[in-house]
Structure 1
């Protein structure tokens, strides 16, 4: 059962949004399916105001597997690169759904941003998305090409299921001997596909993202139930998190994924991985894509982008 409305919601706009969703939540993901969910998400993305202007935007194919990607370059000067992995329950999300996020990120940090159009479930179940993300990171670490012009640190960043992919890519690269990105940035990440943490029950419905929708996405990506506790899909279950890149982990108070993200940050710290971690008060899952709806969500996003900028300043 959902918790009662919290009087400490970050702003009136977010409160109104959640009240509207509670009044009309729409059909569950498992009743709609991936194709219709993608169509609806594309319509929502088209209805949002366009992202800020940026010096250079180009769609590319990169890496040995010819993975689709979109490059955002805030200036002609070569510099650091953020490899961005979008969220969407491993089944939806694309270059358009996170276009505003990537434009804001590039302008705020001064880094080039490469948004990865990895393969999605159910057409391409695990490990296809991880394979694509690892391939792109290896390609970037080898210098990319003249279109991207990597000259500086490489950071991998993902939100929600994209945070899951970022964590899994770092684990695989560590176990295979690198090359590791300089840092990892995880925004409200999925780290436990068994959905066993307490917030998956206390925030199960009524907060924008439902646990049943997340469970449906996990089922599409990892059809075998016994595999969802495998550390190759649920990084929280990895026996050893030592030797991973420094991390920024940011979660949201009113999010069913909150506790698994917080737990992963704690486990990284216990493994002596440098971690900057906070839980954003009063906001919900997906705040990076809610900036046009809620000033508080926009501010939470700006704080995360500032974390990335600080991280890049430290490692340049």
Structure 2
């Protein structure tokens, strides 16, 4: 049994190795990645193939088997901080707190150099299955979004399950967006150009905020940025069957996250847990949805994009065909994941540029 120091060293070694490996030329990665996995005539990009191969050595890639939730969180936080190290060094950060519904919670403000004040901003919710994740795990993603989109990013800490099950995270997300909007001058933000976004479970929370605004519960965001969003807690889509094992986010891990957050199966189709079942779509903001070709959440994200488009909501959808779930966490070590995030940042920049500033 490895002690805490040994496990920290293991995490550091894995992240250092991945940073080096994933920057090797594609032909070399194809050889090292072994026999490619082919699904419907498609295969993962070389960096994704390498990640699939080395995932079994990373303890933070299987939190449901880690043996300790505290350890899983600790190791993923370290891995995320290491993965984001060195990204967009010119972006200034400041750590603060915000008064969450259950007590003070952390937030981190990212400010790119030379941005006018007030300016466009993004309220961002980290992924992690409502159980893991933190401001540190998404340091690289937020830095890159801030610099490439030319926006201030407010990364929000929220209550995690199982200590705080549904609807705690959803309530926190709505309250956090309201807090930032009501205190926009303190964040250098123009409330008329305030977007909401996140990845995976964080994208779920971002969508929950947008739907709450559409119902009139709070002022609407100007734009929604949803990266590999979790939209359907039932998990019955074809992609759940196709990519349920061997593609980093396995179905048993996904089910473990769900069970920590949603204690009652009757909650699975609650719109605050599964936005795919919310039929109140009028008033939703322009939305970007990014999905990945080898992700068990792929189909539910694309079904959500289609539902919005059918209702007349302006939607841009991009499937990153060869990518795995969670590219937002890998922007500092995986060049292909970084390209996917740069594309998202470009869409965000364009979406907010079309929103007139507050008079």
Is the shorter-chain TM-score for this pair beyond 0.5, marking a shared fold? yes
- Residue range with higher mean Cα deviation, 217-226 or 46-55: 46-55
Matching of residue 39 in structure 1 with residue 74 in structure 2: yes
Cα drift, residue 8 of structure 1: 4.4
Q: 1:156 aligns with which of 196, 215, 240?
A: 196
* Structure-2 separation of matches of 1:314 and 1:264: 23
* Structure-2 separation of matches of 1:177 and 1:163: 19
Does the 8 Å contact 1:67/1:136 carry over to 2?
no
Matches within 5 A, 1:186-225: 186-225=226-265
Matching of residue 29 in structure 1 with residue 67 in structure 2: no
Residue in 1 aligned with 2:314? 274
Matching of residue 53 in structure 1 with residue 86 in structure 2: no
Matching of residue 15 in structure 1 with residue 15 in structure 2: no
> Secondary structure of 1:288's partner?
helix
Q: Which runs of 4+ in 1 moved over 6 A?
A: none
Cα drift, residue 225 of structure 1: 1.5
Q: 1:168 aligns with which of 208, 216, 224?
A: 208
Does the 8 Å contact 1:141/1:181 carry over to 2?
no
Does the 8 Å contact 2:330/2:337 carry over to 1?
yes
TM-score by length of 2: 0.81
Consecutive unaligned residues in structure 1, runs of 5 or more: none
User: In the superposition, relative to structure 1, how do residues 30 and 45 fare at CA in structure 2: closer, same or farther (>3 Å)?
Assistant: closer
* Structure-2 separation of matches of 1:150 and 1:91: 29
Q: Deviations over 1:92-114 (max 9, x none)?
A: 11000001110111011111000
* Structure-1 separation of matches of 2:173 and 2:332: 28
Q: Deviations over 1:211-237 (max 9, x none)?
A: 111111111111111211222211111
Consecutive unaligned residues in structure 2, runs of 5 or more: 1-35
TM-score by length of 1: 0.92
> Secondary structure of 2:268's partner?
helix
Residue in 1 aligned with 2:112? 74
Does the 8 Å contact 2:140/2:331 carry over to 1?
no
CA RMSD after TM alignment: 2.0
> Secondary structure of 2:52's partner?
helix
Structure index of larger Rg: 2
* Structure-2 separation of matches of 1:55 and 1:258: 31
Cα drift, residue 54 of structure 1: 2.9
Cα drift, residue 62 of structure 1: 2.6
User: In the superposition, relative to structure 1, how do residues 292 and 14 fare at CA in structure 2: closer, same or farther (>3 Å)?
Assistant: farther
Residue in 2 aligned with 1:290? 330
User: In the superposition, relative to structure 1, how do residues 201 and 229 fare at CA in structure 2: closer, same or farther (>3 Å)?
Assistant: same
Matching of residue 179 in structure 1 with residue 219 in structure 2: yes
